């Protein structure tokens, strides 16, 4: 897909890398020659790293809860000692939930922010230390279309994803003097992901519609006539990692035209 060894000598960290979008990004970084470091609370991430290493790539995995700030910071210390300064961080790890807003509990609200917002910030704190010292870096956060216009039955998720956009804006200003680009992605509903499986099941229940009707309902809202594919996100993350040197502080839509601001 992209030139081999384009990221050779660079350290790229991906959170939520055991499967789906995070896995696809980690694999692309590894193919491009990066020393690819993967975080995930799912131990399966260790098998991913083992497979990539057997394929001749350079990869390391941490089975890690990103809401544990001390563990996150310690992991970044290890990464820098073993591989060198971090060049790119893709904050993919997150959580989703769906329910009427009246049913959201304090615990559910707290969990949504701890994972999506706090965990993102802790990873940025870890990566930015070596980026600042090296005076270069790319940070790519994961928001959502829901973080811009909100989504019915997902008030707490939408609020957390909106917070990630604001965090991205603030850190873009703060880190610009160090030549660190900070951007975020705002995809629409993405096929073949655990998030879509959970959300579509939720809409089937909450809207009392068959799953096929739910898919048709949401696809009809997209001008390009299809849901987001994982490859659409991989392409954009790769662009922001390797190129995109004049892009910072942006919340990029990957929605097939559904979101236009």
Q: Which residues are the active-site residues?
A: 157
Instruction: Compute the distance between CA of residue 26 and CA of residue 13 in angstroms, rounded to an integer.
Output: 8
Backbone angles phi, psi at 183, to 5 degrees: -135, 170
Backbone angles phi, psi at 205, to 5 degrees: -75, -50
Instruction: Compute the distance between CA of residue 245 and CA of residue 38 in angstroms, rounded to an integer.
Output: 24
What sign does the dihedral 231-246-89-149 (CA atoms) show?
Answer: negative
Report the DSSP beta bridge partners of residue 139: 89, 182
């Amino acid at each position: 897909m992209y030139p081999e060894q384009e990221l050779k000598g660079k350290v790229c960290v991906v959170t939520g890398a055991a499967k789906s979008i995070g896995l696809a990004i980690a694999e692309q970084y590894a193919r491009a020659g990066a020393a690819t470091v993967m975080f995930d609370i799912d131990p399966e991430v260790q098998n991913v790293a083992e497979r990539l290493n057997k394929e001749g790539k350079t990869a390391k995995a941490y089975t890690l809860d990103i809401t544990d700030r001390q563990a996150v910071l310690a992991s970044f210390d290890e990464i820098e000692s073993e591989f060198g300064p971090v060049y790119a961080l893709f904050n993919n790890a997150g959580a989703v939930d769906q329910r009427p807003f009246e049913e959201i509990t304090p615990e559910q609200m707290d969990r949504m922010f701890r994972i999506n917002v706090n965990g993102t910030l802790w990873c940025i704190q870890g990566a930015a230390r070596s980026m600042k010292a090296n005076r270069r870096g790319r940070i790519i956060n994961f928001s959502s279309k829901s973080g811009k216009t909100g989504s019915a039955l997902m008030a707490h998720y939408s609020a957390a994803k909106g917070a990630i956009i604001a965090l991205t804006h603030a850190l873009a200003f703060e880190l610009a003097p160090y030549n660190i680009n900070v951007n975020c992605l705002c995809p629409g509903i993405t096929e073949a992901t655990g998030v879509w499986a959970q959300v579509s099941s939720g809409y089937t229940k909450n809207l009392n519609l068959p799953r096929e009707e739910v898919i048709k309902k949401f696809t009809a809202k997209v001008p390009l006539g299809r849901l987001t594919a994982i490859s659409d996100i991989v392409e954009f993350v790769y662009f922001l990692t390797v190129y995109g040197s004049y892009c910072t502080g942006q919340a990029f839509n990957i929605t097939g035209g559904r979101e236009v601001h």
